[in-house]
Amino acid sequence: MYPPELEPEETPTPATKEAQDKLIELTNQSWNLELVISGAALFATLSLPEFLDSVLVYYRYNLMTDTDYIHDGVPSQVMGLIKGVSYSLFGAFLAHFIMRAFWVGLLGLLAVYPDGIRYDHIYNLSQYAREKLAKEMGPLPDYIIRLDKRCNVIFALAFSMALFLLGIAIVYGLFLLTETALQLLIPEHLYKPVREVVSWVFAIGFIGIGITVSVLNRPKFRDNPRFAPIVFQLNQVFSVLFMGLYKPLLYIVYTFYSQIPQPVLKRRLVWSFGIFMLAELLFISVQLLKTEGATELLDSRSYITLRAPNQKVDANSFDNLRTPDELIDQASIQSDVIREPYVRLFMSYPKSLDVELAKRFREPKWPDSLSRKVRREKRAIWYLKSFETYFGVYLNDSLYRSPDFLFTKRADNGQQGLTTVLLTANLKPGRNTLKVMVPDSANKPTAYCQIPFWYVPEN
């Protein structure tokens, strides 16, 4: 009996014979479409990670307002989850494509030899081997049917895992959107305390709901008419968090739950989910290591480090080594080996720089009597002076007190920033270093970026 709150408006009835026949007909006709879907999906899932990387780069340069873990690490986790989904779907589609193609081959073979495998006619096997294989392998039509079922199950398992991970990515995304909205709406001096409170509320609330649902789903609570409505409503919280992915996931999961014996189902779920989540966590960990610049931890070489700015060369910092469409992280010069009597410097202007500049500079209030054109010109000059005050540009130990920045938009990738040309009259031949310093919280100069390069003047 249903509790009064759960009484359905209309009790579902089993599928009619006509509907079942229609499903069987659709199943028989769908294998060729499955091959097309698998082939197209193989290409699409391989292209998706590269697209996600470009989205993450765009976010970090144009939208990210801070460089803390929430603004930088959480988006990396979201992208890691989605990339993990794409790779897992690629593996599932590849397995399905191979198995379905093999299935089609067996169908064709059965059409040529309708009797299938005649074990008693296999001349190079002993009688014992014939009987053993006949018992273990069975008739060819039975194997074709089992293979067809496994092809369909692979699709269902892959999509259930994908929907689950996408749901988690949505939860991360909702948390990030909430935090960003708080940053925009709350005054700066209240932002950090409120963010800490909201973060703890999110974490405790999510964990609390999960533990509560797990406890109430035990038989003595689940089957109690007083607790059943509470359990049902708590389960609906996850449907809200997962948005439109929750119900499609339930169709797949509950089909397995209702068709597979409980001990077998639990064993399969533990193994498959454990292996899948272990692979996903490993993948996300690698993504975070790359984000934090700690990829040398994954390298087997003992005497190399990529975390010492003075002792490494980053291809992203040189126009001749970087791919034209790649965004510049912080700064770039024309080449790793400079032969011209100047260094052409480009400083990127990511959105996160707005926060630091707003802390230190307040735009003057321009007189209302000024025309819009004059006011725009004065504002541009003030902006450039602010950048010259904030950035200290050094060639080796020589400070350029007035680097004469100008606004620019690069022709190769459309990136906006600042540019200037530094003369190299006093540079020594060989290795030199361009350093950009910025003030820290105590107004002491600290390294923003360093670019080692070689100066080989033309004779």
Q: 439, 353 in Cβ contact below 8 A? A: no
- The whole-number pLDDT of residue 334 equals 94
- The whole-number pLDDT of residue 179 equals 75
Per-residue pLDDT of the chain (459 residues; tens, 9 = 90+): 334 444 444 444 454 556 555 555 555 555 666 667 676 667 767 777 778 888 888 888 877 777 777 777 778 777 777 877 777 778 888 888 888 888 888 888 888 888 888 888 888 888 888 888 888 888 888 888 888 888 877 777 777 777 777 777 777 777 777 777 777 777 767 777 777 777 788 778 778 777 877 777 777 777 777 777 877 777 776 666 666 667 777 777 777 777 777 787 777 767 766 776 676 677 666 666 665 555 555 566 777 777 676 788 888 999 999 988 888 989 999 999 999 989 999 999 988 888 888 888 888 888 888 898 999 999 999 999 999 999 999 998 888 888 899 999 999 888 999 999 998 877 889 999 999 999 887 778 888 999 999 999 876
pTM above 0.85, yes or no: no
- The whole-number pLDDT of residue 444 equals 85
- The whole-number pLDDT of residue 333 equals 95
- The edge-to-edge listing of strands for the beta sheet with 445-455 is 337-338, 445-455, 430-439, 392-395, 398-400
- The whole-number pLDDT of residue 4 equals 43
Element (H, E) at 192: helix 188-216
d(CA 223, CA 216): 9
User: Average per-residue pLDDT in the chain?
Assistant: 78
d(CA 50, CA 44): 11
- The whole-number pLDDT of residue 374 equals 92
- The full set of domain ranges for the chain reads 16-295, 309-455
As a three-state string, the secondary structure of 116-147 is: CCCHHHCCCCCHHHHHHHHHHHCCHHHHHHHH
- The whole-number pLDDT of residue 7 equals 42
Amino acid identity of 157?
L
Distinct helix (H) and strand (E) counts, the chain: 11, 9
